[in-house]
Amino acid sequence: MSLHVVMGFGPAGAATARLLAEQGHTVRVVTRSGRSPEPGIEHVAADAADSARLTELSKGAAAIHSCAAPPYHHWVRDWPPLASSACAAAEASGAVLVMLGNLYGYGPVAGPLTERLPLAATGPKGRVRAALWEQARRLHEQGRIRAVEVRASDFFGPGVTDGGHLAGRVVPRVLRGKPVSTLGDPDAPHSWSYLPDVARALVEVAGEERAWGRAWHVPTAPARSAREMVDRLAAGAGTGPVAVRRLAPAVLGVAALFSPLVRELKETRYQFDRPYVVDASAYEAEFAVRATPVDEQVAATLRWWRDRVATSG
């Protein structure tokens, strides 16, 4: 088995590291704060934007999984040095660079999102996401690194606590039978990337040479509106029906006065005001990972949240 370096230990980094460890790989996780070791996983406290330090930690690695993410309102400032460090470590070590990406780089589009779309975003967060992949792709084409990007939509599933779409602001309220509020149109079809499927895709492409040099969409279940997903969660929890309300623009406007995060959401509101549908057929035609059936996603997510609530009180 091989050494894999995982940058970041948020939901995606943690799920990827633990899946790699379950498969028998040696895993080294790099975060600013570090953590206590867990079976098969070494946690190292280091700044992943320090290319010399990351290169040292990546010696002998088969792959570097770039799953770290700066705070939402610091993307433009903090992501370029982090990505450049990952590229430098991949070049020095020979490890495959596996980048966790998202769909921001496309900008607003009509119809399903495919990897063939141009990275035409005009907003700062969309442009920085596009630039990260363009940098890695260029180095790949020059033969200096081996790189692949896996693009996911909004995360859903066990371990996803941040964000208000179907995470910390929604699921606990569903468990209590309380009304929930959503950003944008609660009836617009939306693709939700199930976190375990994201991790499985990141692990799979690391070992598939034919995947390298391009971006792929995570296999994702058919698009469902926020209202439909809340209905399914409430039915599974036995607390339904739960009212689903759209957050009023005036409420968001007031919140934006005090919250940098809410201010940043203005750029990506289009993702929730209209259908936002991922096409992952290219990935499914080439590789083994498939989207977990949505009923299994819902059941696992509810189990995880119940355990979390019981543990935290």
> Is the pLDDT score of 313 beyond 80?
no
236 inside domain? no
Q: If you average pLDDT over every residue of the chain, what do you get?
A: 94
What mean pLDDT is predicted for residues 53-75?
96
* Residue 146 belongs to a domain: yes
In a domain, residue 70? The reply is: yes
Q: How far is CA 269 from the centre of its chain?
A: 18
pLDDT for 38: 92
The mean per-residue pLDDT over the stretch 119-131 comes to 96
For residues 225 and 188, the answer to whether their CB atoms sit within 8 Å is: yes
The CATH number assigned to the domain holding 207 equals 3.40.50.720
Tokens standing for residue 171? 């699921």
Q: Which domain holds residue 86?
A: 3-155+193-220+277-291
Residue 251 lies in a domain: no
- Asked if residue 142 is part of any domain, the answer here is yes
pLDDT in tens, 159-213: 999 866 888 889 999 999 999 988 889 999 999 999 999 999 999 999 999 999 9
Q: How confident is the model at residue 312 (pLDDT cuts 50, 70, 90)?
A: confident
Q: Average pLDDT, stretch 25-43?
A: 95
Assess if residue 92 is contained within a domain: yes
Q: Is residue 13 part of a domain?
A: yes
pLDDT of residue 6: 98
**In a domain? residue 168:** no
Q: How many domains does the chain have?
A: 1
**Hey, what's the torsion of the CAs at 288, 83, 65, 40, to 10 degrees?**
-170
Q: Binning pLDDT at 50, 70 and 90, where does residue 18 land?
A: very high
